Chains A and B, each alone.
Chain A
Amino acid sequence: MSALALIIEDDEDLAQIFAEALRGVGFKVESVVDGQTAQERLKKGPVPYLILLDMHIPHISGGDLLTNIIRKDKQLSKVIVIITTADARMGEAYTELADFVMIKPISFIQLRDLTSRLKPKE
């Protein structure tokens, strides 16, 4: 059974590209487009193996999601979090809380290579 990756990204095209990259290395992919939906999704439903979190999303910011939900919830403690942002300084600010920081523009190949290294060993 393949591991679940949750993509939290408001740009449809980027979400699709990220999804293809993750599917390509064998993840099962689920996408949400805003902070509010992401928060609700994280509270119920299966725990993802990996979260790809955009910092600039509507309603609840990626930073708030990371600080107040993901890193506070015991069930989510083992989730690998990759944050994506166009703002290098924002990335800098969350290096402690995130496992990886990717600065936009994010390359399909780069994301694919990174996640293929991270996926659980079969």
Chain B
Amino acid sequence: MSLLNRFLTVPTTDPDDTRRRRILNILVVSVGLVILLTLLASFAMILLKVESWGNLSLLVISCIVGIFAMLATYLMNTFWSGRVAAIVFLVFFNLVLAFSDTPEELSVGRSLFYFVIPIIMASILLAPWSSFIFSSISSIIISVIAASIGSVPNIPAISGFFVVALVSWLSARSLEHALKELRAINANLDQVVIDRTQALAESLQRERVEAGRNQAILNSIADGVVVFDRKWNAILANPALKSMLDLPIELIVNKNFRDLIEHPRLSPRSRGLLYAMMEHDTQPPSFRIEWGRKTLSISAAQVYGNSADGNTNLGTVTVFRDFTREAEVEKLKSTFVAIVSHELRTPLNAILGYAEMFKESVYGPMNDKQINMAERIMKNTQRLLGLINDLLDQAQMEAGKLTVQMAPFKPADLLENIHGVMDQLVHEKGLRLTSEIEDNLPEIINGDAARLQQILVNLVNNAVKFTDHGTVHVRLFCPHASRWGFEVADTGRGIPESELPYIFDTFRQVEGPTTRAHGGFGLGLSIVKQLVSLMDGEIRVKSKVDRGSTFTINLPLVIPETDTEKRRTP
């Protein structure tokens, strides 16, 4: 059934020639079959003696000729020219018609309508207009037949042929137009599909190239990169991260950051830092964590994308950098500084001690010049020791080892001590050191007395260093119940406004390194500032060139519950 169906199907999208050839084949085969059946029926009748051979011999021969003609037409149509085959078929058809009945019947009787068939066929098989040619041929044939029997041509039939030709022409033509348009639409559609497919393939290719390039970039970065979505699920990580953390990638990607934070290799402090990073949108630009034996530096950046309702947070890109070596070097550096400082201090202590022994005339009386020399040795040694202390403090601060020890102390002792330490120097320079303490400052408060003393000595020392005439004034104050502080004001040369933002920087002095007229590493104020922040306080400076500077330190005020004082010297 499907074979027959396939044989009878004429695809509308085929070109005209192909379609006509197909239709012709259908017709040829159908006509061939009819002829074959007629032939078989004739044989049957002869065999059954219904009709004699004599009556049917012409029909049988015609049928055999017809079968061969159909076969020839079929082959010609299939392998050579459809057009020629169609003409041959139609001419043959007309010939058969011309002899298919008696001349009377053909020209005016029952068989006259046969001649309509080739007209319609021609419009389908050759071209729409060929119906007119075959209506002419049919007219000529019936006229010739009529003439052969002495009759006049059948004019109404001939005009009928032309009407049929007209109708066939119109219908075949509109069919062909419709098919043509359909084919054009189809072709257009095909082109569109081709274009779209091409574009899609190209964009896919581009995307693949782009993605490949991004992946290659990500893969070749030495830093570990992991991208989190808004809920802190890791959506992407590069191989560097995998090797840095020494974890299979499955334990990183498609996991929540919390799973990674809970990993036992992470130190508790680092865990806290990472949770803080997750919970707060504002993080420090970078911070360090300990992962097993490694020190990793982490920086995280929020990713924002444009959407209808403005900028939306898409997630976070986190970059891990292996900081192990740098951390080791830093640690080594501070150890080195600590050892060097300690090793320098011991001989300096000895020099200081021997000089003091000279001064005190331990081994016999000394004259004034000798005593003066011993004092100079002592003073210079003290200076050197001060510098080493600064270096050691700085190293400890960098290593995060410096802490403040809070204990009850008397603020008034600070002033007493500063006079003890500085009075002589102030006197030698012809300056005055004055001090006052506000009445509302409690007598005993909590604080790191040694560090506070260090801060005060540093500030007063600086003030004396940069003041040529006048006074250095120290004031302890208590602005309200929860704060206290002190200020050191001098009448010295002051600090230019352009330098004010930098005076607390490490190794910084107002003079450049080659033009410095004053000794010291420039660590003093930097250490003061760091100590003050360790105590949760703040330091401010006001200064006018040639009018003097005022450093003000403001600290939280804590009054001890019981004033247990410890014996402690010095």
Using CB atoms and an 8 Å cutoff, list the residues of chain A in contact with chain B.
Answer: 11, 13-14, 17-18, 20, 24, 86, 88-89, 92, 95, 99-110, 112, 114
- Roughly how many angstroms separate A114 CA and B347 CA in the complex, as a whole number? 22
- Roughly how many angstroms separate A37 CA and B117 CA in the complex, as a whole number? 140
The answer, among B353, B356, B362, for a CB contact under 8 Å with A13, is B353
Question: Given known contacts A86-B345, A104-B345, is B570 in contact with A11 (CB within 8 Å)?
Answer: no
Residues of the B chain whose Cβ atoms lie less than 8 Å from the Cβ of A112: 360
**DSSP majority for the B interface?**
helix
Residues of the B chain whose Cβ atoms lie less than 8 Å from the Cβ of A102: 569-570
Minimum distance in angstroms from B518 CB to a CB of chain A: 23
Let me know if B193 is at the binding interface, CB within 8 A: no
Contact in complex: B569, A106 (CB < 8 Å): no
A-facing residues in B380-404 (Cβ within 8 Å): 385, 403
Contact in complex: A17, B345 (CB < 8 Å): no
Nearest to A23 among chain B residues (CB) is B362
Nearest to A92 among chain B residues (CB) is B405
- Roughly how many angstroms separate A31 CA and B425 CA in the complex, as a whole number? 36
A-facing residues in B550-570 (Cβ within 8 Å): 566-570
Contact in complex: A88, B450 (CB < 8 Å): yes
- Roughly how many angstroms separate A86 CA and B568 CA in the complex, as a whole number? 15
Residues of the B chain whose Cβ atoms lie less than 8 Å from the Cβ of A18: 353
Residues of the A chain whose Cβ atoms lie less than 8 Å from the Cβ of B566: 95
Nearest to B358 among chain A residues (CB) is A108
Residues of the A chain whose Cβ atoms lie less than 8 Å from the Cβ of B346: 11, 14, 86, 104
Let me know if B350 is at the binding interface, CB within 8 A: yes
List 16 other contacts, CB 8 Å, given A24-B362, A101-B569, A104-B345.
Answer: A13-B353, A13-B354, A14-B349, A14-B353, A17-B354, A20-B362, A86-B342, A88-B450, A89-B405, A100-B569, A105-B348, A105-B352, A105-B385, A107-B356, A108-B357, A110-B570
A-facing residues in B325-379 (Cβ within 8 Å): 342, 345-350, 352-354, 356-357, 360, 362
The answer, among A86, A100, A103, for a CB contact under 8 Å with B567, is A100
- Roughly how many angstroms separate A89 CA and B450 CA in the complex, as a whole number? 11
Q: List 23 A-B contacts (CB under 8 A).
A: A11-B346, A11-B350, A13-B353, A14-B353, A17-B353, A17-B356, A20-B362, A24-B360, A24-B362, A86-B346, A100-B568, A100-B569, A101-B569, A102-B569, A104-B345, A104-B346, A105-B345, A105-B349, A106-B353, A107-B352, A108-B352, A108-B356, A114-B569
Minimum distance in angstroms from A53 CB to a CB of chain B: 15
Residues of the A chain whose Cβ atoms lie less than 8 Å from the Cβ of B354: 13, 17
- Roughly how many angstroms separate A18 CA and B346 CA in the complex, as a whole number? 13
Residues of the B chain whose Cβ atoms lie less than 8 Å from the Cβ of A107: 352-353, 356
- Roughly how many angstroms separate A107 CA and B568 CA in the complex, as a whole number? 16
- Roughly how many angstroms separate A95 CA and B356 CA in the complex, as a whole number? 27
Residues of the B chain whose Cβ atoms lie less than 8 Å from the Cβ of A114: 569
Contact in complex: B342, A101 (CB < 8 Å): no
Contact in complex: B568, A101 (CB < 8 Å): yes
Residues of the B chain whose Cβ atoms lie less than 8 Å from the Cβ of A109: 356, 360
Nearest to B389 among chain A residues (CB) is A105
- Roughly how many angstroms separate A99 CA and B569 CA in the complex, as a whole number? 10
Minimum distance in angstroms from B453 CB to a CB of chain A: 11
Enumerate the 7 nearest inter-chain pairs by beta-carbon distance, A residue then B residue, closest first. Answer: A17-B353, A13-B350, A108-B356, A105-B349, A108-B353, A100-B569, A109-B356
Contact in complex: A99, B567 (CB < 8 Å): yes
Residues of the B chain whose Cβ atoms lie less than 8 Å from the Cβ of A110: 570
Nearest to A106 among chain B residues (CB) is B349
Residues of the B chain whose Cβ atoms lie less than 8 Å from the Cβ of A17: 350, 353-354, 356-357
Residues of the A chain whose Cβ atoms lie less than 8 Å from the Cβ of B385: 105
Contact in complex: B357, A20 (CB < 8 Å): yes
Minimum distance in angstroms from B393 CB to a CB of chain A: 10
- Roughly how many angstroms separate A100 CA and B349 CA in the complex, as a whole number? 19
Minimum distance in angstroms from B395 CB to a CB of chain A: 13
A-facing residues in B520-548 (Cβ within 8 Å): none
Residues of the A chain whose Cβ atoms lie less than 8 Å from the Cβ of B568: 95, 100-101
- Roughly how many angstroms separate A88 CA and B345 CA in the complex, as a whole number? 14
- Roughly how many angstroms separate A92 CA and B566 CA in the complex, as a whole number? 11
- Roughly how many angstroms separate A29 CA and B403 CA in the complex, as a whole number? 37
- Roughly how many angstroms separate A102 CA and B450 CA in the complex, as a whole number? 13
Nearest to B378 among chain A residues (CB) is A107
Residues of the A chain whose Cβ atoms lie less than 8 Å from the Cβ of B353: 13-14, 17-18, 106-108
Contact in complex: A108, B350 (CB < 8 Å): no
- Roughly how many angstroms separate A20 CA and B569 CA in the complex, as a whole number? 20
Minimum distance in angstroms from A2 CB to a CB of chain B: 17
Nearest to A105 among chain B residues (CB) is B349
Mask for B442-484, Cβ within 8 A of A = 1, else 0?
A: 0000000010000000000000000000000000000000000
Minimum distance in angstroms from A115 CB to a CB of chain B: 11
Nearest to A56 among chain B residues (CB) is B342
